[in-house]
Structure 1
Amino acid sequence: MGVSSKALAALLLLLGLVWFGTLGTRALIHPDEGRYASLALEMARSGDWVTPRLNGLPYFEKPALQYWIGALAFLGFGVSEFSARLWPGLAGFLTVMLVGFTARRLWGRETGIRALAVAASMTWIELNSHFLTLDAGLTLFLTLALCAVLLANAGPPQARRRWIWLAWAAMGGAVLSKGLVGIVIPGAVLVLVSLWRRDAALWRGMHWLSGAMIFLAITAPWFVLVSLRNPGFSEFFFIHEHFARYLSDVHNREGAWWYYLPLLLIGMLPWTSALPWLFRPGGGGSAPIAPRHLLLVWCAFILLFFSASSSKLPSYILPMFPALSLGVAMAMRDASAEALRRHLLLPAVLWGLAALASTQSARFASITAPPEVLAPLASGLRSGAALVLAGCAFAWWCLGRRRVTAAVLGLAVTHALAVVLLLQAHNGYGQLKSAATLAAALPPSITPDTPVFAVRDYDQTLPFYLRRNVVLVDYEDEFALGQRREPDKWIPTLDEFVARWQAAPRAAAYMGAATWVELHRRGLPMRIVFHDPRRVVVVKP
């Protein structure tokens, strides 16, 4: 017996309430969340929708689509953590819906429901939809391109052109989200599938001329405008931020060749043990190219492409997880209830072991992770484990009665709620990597005209929580290009800062503990208004 429409609508409503209701309940953390929130906030305040600015300085590392959407969210809903995370939250939610829709069109209603449930509860999709990075938006557009090609390949010829046009538009959105990777991934997969199958049908059916026109109509206007207003943009964006980032360790984000393998296994939970299912034969139906082949190549290329890169971050492989969800749901159609029962053992064991380990959280305490921060995390982990174990028990019971879809939904709902509990429990730890608390300590001591300095250190969330930019002192990092273009907006040396501080009637500064010690020894007049083991905030007495 399948799931009724009313029950499905109720579960979707619950998913939406939990998904969006928790976006604004945690402080933004350094670095990515603060960086992209500050970029969008600066765009909303300045009204300049062409040249992105980070802390008031030109910033060209990524395209502008996410900044536009973030700025619109701030203008429409006010400045808050919810508005800052609205786009990745919405992008992740739409990705889940898209996975369910595609599976339903390809394999029927029950498989569509299961695919949606798998995607919504897959750890990496849910986590990355609740943190402010560029990868959720990129993943939405790449998934749309993948699903459009799948549907074009499986549908009637008269509908194929519209799906392919949609795929081209989606690639345009992906490029505006994160750059050339938005077309490199789909393009490479297209070539590899054609070579693997020795069949150019997919290649020939891409409507290259009209598709390229759609792609350029979406991407070209911003790239042309920003290049005209900012000489040197093209070289920095395409050479430094693409080829140098991929081929060298210029951004100091190295990782071993196996860096993404543990993230893949953890990120697939609670469906990790279904990974081998993607290699089972079948799943082609009457389509000229089997969806399984396209999904396999998609996942393999993304994993290998980013594993070979000299610059690695955990969220880079996010675009493969919607494809994994489709593959798991597709293979699940042929799995017996007994086989599905066996696959419940892995999430039950892993969550059970995590709950046991959480009882020893005090052993992991340190200056940067004090016991009062670890205790809520441990409690959230135990609560999450209890939910998942209950979900596994319910799924076991349902499978004994051959109610596969109900079993999938039961495990998916409890696992999704468990991840939400962990996210909420993480906020205490996140506060250690956020300027929310220290920014709240400053307003009584400063006025809107008081300069605020970031001395030899910088927290990306500081401009967001202060609702103003800060003056960088002896700090470059990703600001180097902007500082060269507008050198009057920062202070290159500590000596210049000392002179500026002594001359100012009022001033405030953010710095690391070691810098505070150095300035204190130099006799600089400072009054501490906030401090923790890493950071000090001072004002001029």
Structure 2
Amino acid sequence: MLLALLLMAAGLGLRQPYNVDEERFLGVALEMLQDGSWFIPHRAAEIYPDKPPLFMWMIMLFTWLTGLPKIALFIPGLLSAVVTTACLHDLGTRLWNRRIGVIAALLFLATYQTYSILRVGQIDSFLALWIALGLYGMVRHLLLGPAWGWFYVACAAMGLGIISKGVGFLPILMLIPYAYAVRKGWRGVVVMPGQAGRWALGLLALLAAVSVWLLPLGVSVALNGDADAIAYLKNILLHQTADRYAGAWEHKEPFWYFLTNVIPQYWMPLVLALPWLVPAWRRQLLKHDGRVLVLLGWVVLVLVFFALSTGKRKIYIFPALPALVLVAAPLLPWLLKRWFARWPGLRRVFPVLVALWFCAWFARGFIEPIKDGRNPHDELMEDAAQMSGGADLVLAGWREGHWLFARQPIVHFGFMQGSTTDQAALYLRNHPQAFALVPARDLERCFLMPKARQVGHTSRAEWFLVGDDADNGQCNPPPAARTYRYVWNKVLFKQ
């Protein structure tokens, strides 16, 4: 657990929110903390409809406790790393022996995807906490039980996982290979006949956890909700779950994407052992080992579940990794013994390679933030505030970083509206004291280049500051359906 903390916390305090997900979730959490709209998240005063709020609640809590937003963003991932490591160690010890528990914990921390996900400030780094607790509770009940208390803990963890990200229910899929093993009389699984009532209580525990957010949200919308709140409720319950799974509108990849583009890289070094592990697992399954069936069957079901969706990202299959590590750990001593017998020199080199592997990840935690430097949105918005004298700044084609690092009031017309440069031009005509921040690709359509001042660039665009005097008169759109204005109470990130 200490090793997990060291690896994932390396460089903490040096890191800024850098990618778009980190900027988004930290901004939503800080807006919650500032404005008090906890149940319906907002992004620059506009409802943010894509994710449930539990992850943002945690960031908000740790920001309130520490006063350090750029540290609070990464604390949920640290918790996930420590808890998952502890769960794997304990399950490995209980299912096999203490040595296997240690191997399972170390193998999990050595895997590249563990490092790449649990160090970042994203929902998946927090979802891993609930997946680990769900996995732990299900294994304690199905393979080491009966342990109804742990089963209910697992169900509650799945409920909290659902209000972190919709796929938090994944550990329930473990019941499928478990039911098969029970029916076929496989060894290593716990048979619990005539317990329908107790199984049903698990569903109640799951629903109770979901109700922590969904119940007050539903009551609030029913009593005071406007059309936007009702639309948010429909969107988060249907469009962002079933619709997104069945017909994703981004990150579209083929069925085999995880097998060819993710597992070979992100499950290193474990993937190197698969040519030996797969035949060994097959032999264990032929011996009707229920432990292997339940754990490995769940891994396969998780992979198939995400492969069937048209939208795929490399982070999606991370929930399957802890169970794969747990079912691989008992075979590692046997595999190393074979390798050492074939290549005797490897016995002396192997401990050094393991130590270097972990040291490299630890060092990378300090190297990455130094190499990345300051977030370009931070510099951009600081310069924009100085050049405009802190006046209202209209954002056209903006990203979350513009809002998160804003030093002045910002005005926009909706995040999902695409290019709104024409609306920015119209706004400046009616508010000549304001300025607009416009990407270079749209500038000359509505503004005079000689009147524009270059501010800086980000990975997506070069940005220019314009006032009403730069208007070329070519853009005459109808008034925007909605205009949003937002201002932070204080500068959140000081260099």
TM-score for the superposition, normalised by structure 1: 0.74
Aligned equivalent of 1:396: 347
Residue correspondences, number? 450
Does the 8 Å contact 1:55/1:469 carry over to 2?
A: no
- Paired with 1:446 and 1:236, the residues of 2 have a C-alpha distance of 37
Does the 8 Å contact 2:377/2:402 carry over to 1?
A: yes
Does the 8 Å contact 1:270/1:415 carry over to 2?
A: no
Tell me the alpha carbon deviations over residues 460-483 of structure 1, each in whole angstroms, 9 at most, x when there is no partner.
Answer: 22222226774334x643x79xxx
Q: Shift of residue 271 of structure 1?
A: 2.1
Aligned equivalent of 2:149: 162
Does the 8 Å contact 1:122/1:267 carry over to 2?
A: yes
Aligned equivalent of 2:39: 50
1:252–1:19 distance in 2 versus 1, CA, 3 Å:
closer
1:214 and 2:187 equivalent? no
- Paired with 2:311 and 2:141, the residues of 1 have a C-alpha distance of 34
- Paired with 2:374 and 2:314, the residues of 1 have a C-alpha distance of 20
Does the residue aligned with 1:442 lie in a helix, a strand or coil? helix
| Match 1:195 to one of 172, 180, 195 | 180
Which AA in structure 2 matches 1:211? G
| Match 1:255 to one of 253, 256, 261 | 253
| Match 2:19 to one of 11, 30, 39 | 30
Q: Shift of residue 143 of structure 1?
A: 2.0
1:453 and 2:372 equivalent? no
1:437 and 2:379 equivalent? yes
Aligned equivalent of 1:275: 274
Q: CA RMSD in A?
A: 3.4
Does the 8 Å contact 1:28/1:434 carry over to 2?
A: no
- Paired with 1:64 and 1:283, the residues of 2 have a C-alpha distance of 45
1:227 and 2:218 equivalent? yes
Q: Shift of residue 120 of structure 1?
A: 1.1
Name which of structure 1's ranges 304-313 and 223-232 shifts more when overlaid on structure 2.
223-232
Q: Shift of residue 43 of structure 1?
A: 0.9
1:24–1:321 distance in 2 versus 1, CA, 3 Å:
farther
- Paired with 1:214 and 1:343, the residues of 2 have a C-alpha distance of 52
Does the 8 Å contact 2:152/2:202 carry over to 1?
A: yes
Q: Shift of residue 218 of structure 1?
A: 1.4
Aligned equivalent of 2:482: none
Q: Shift of residue 446 of structure 1?
A: 4.6
- Paired with 1:167 and 1:423, the residues of 2 have a C-alpha distance of 32
- Paired with 1:465 and 1:66, the residues of 2 have a C-alpha distance of 20
Aligned equivalent of 2:427: 500
Aligned equivalent of 1:321: 321
Which AA in structure 2 matches 1:168? C
Does the 8 Å contact 1:530/1:538 carry over to 2?
A: no
Does the residue aligned with 1:466 lie in a helix, a strand or coil? coil
- Paired with 2:145 and 2:415, the residues of 1 have a C-alpha distance of 55
Q: Shift of residue 156 of structure 1?
A: 5.2
Tell me the alpha carbon deviations over residues 131-186 of structure 1, each in whole angstroms, 9 at most, x when there is no partner.
Answer: 222112222211211122212234354xx11221211121112112102x222x22
Does the 8 Å contact 2:29/2:56 carry over to 1?
A: yes
Does the 8 Å contact 2:5/2:78 carry over to 1?
A: no
Does the 8 Å contact 2:26/2:69 carry over to 1?
A: no
- Paired with 2:215 and 2:283, the residues of 1 have a C-alpha distance of 43
Q: Shift of residue 513 of structure 1?
A: 1.9
Aligned equivalent of 1:483: none
1:269–1:476 distance in 2 versus 1, CA, 3 Å:
same
Which AA in structure 2 matches 1:170? A
Aligned equivalent of 1:369: none
Aligned equivalent of 1:171: 158
- Paired with 1:28 and 1:476, the residues of 2 have a C-alpha distance of 19
- Paired with 1:471 and 1:147, the residues of 2 have a C-alpha distance of 47
Identity across matched positions, percent = 22
Query: What residue ranges of structure 1 are gaps of 5+ in the alignment?
Result: 1-11, 345-392, 400-406, 481-491
- Paired with 1:398 and 1:532, the residues of 2 have a C-alpha distance of 44
Which AA in structure 1 matches 2:200? L
Aligned equivalent of 1:403: none
Aligned equivalent of 1:387: none
- Paired with 1:321 and 1:29, the residues of 2 have a C-alpha distance of 25
- Paired with 1:86 and 1:343, the residues of 2 have a C-alpha distance of 42
Aligned equivalent of 1:245: 244
Does the 8 Å contact 1:176/1:219 carry over to 2?
A: yes
- After the TM superposition, which residues 313-462 of structure 1 pair with which residues of structure 2 at under 5 Å, given as runs? 313-339=313-339, 396-397=347-348, 407=351, 411-422=353-364, 424-427=366-369, 434-446=376-388, 450-455=391-396, 457-462=397-402
Q: Shift of residue 503 of structure 1?
A: 4.2
Aligned equivalent of 1:124: 113
Q: Shift of residue 73 of structure 1?
A: 1.4
- Paired with 1:217 and 1:340, the residues of 2 have a C-alpha distance of 52
Tell me the alpha carbon deviations over residues 394-437 of structure 1, each in whole angstroms, 9 at most, x when there is no partner.
Answer: x73166xxxxxxx3xx5444323323545555557856985133
1:471 and 2:402 equivalent? no
1:462–1:493 distance in 2 versus 1, CA, 3 Å:
closer
Does the 8 Å contact 1:103/1:111 carry over to 2?
A: yes
- Paired with 1:417 and 1:333, the residues of 2 have a C-alpha distance of 23
1:203–1:245 distance in 2 versus 1, CA, 3 Å:
farther
Does the residue aligned with 1:501 lie in a helix, a strand or coil? helix
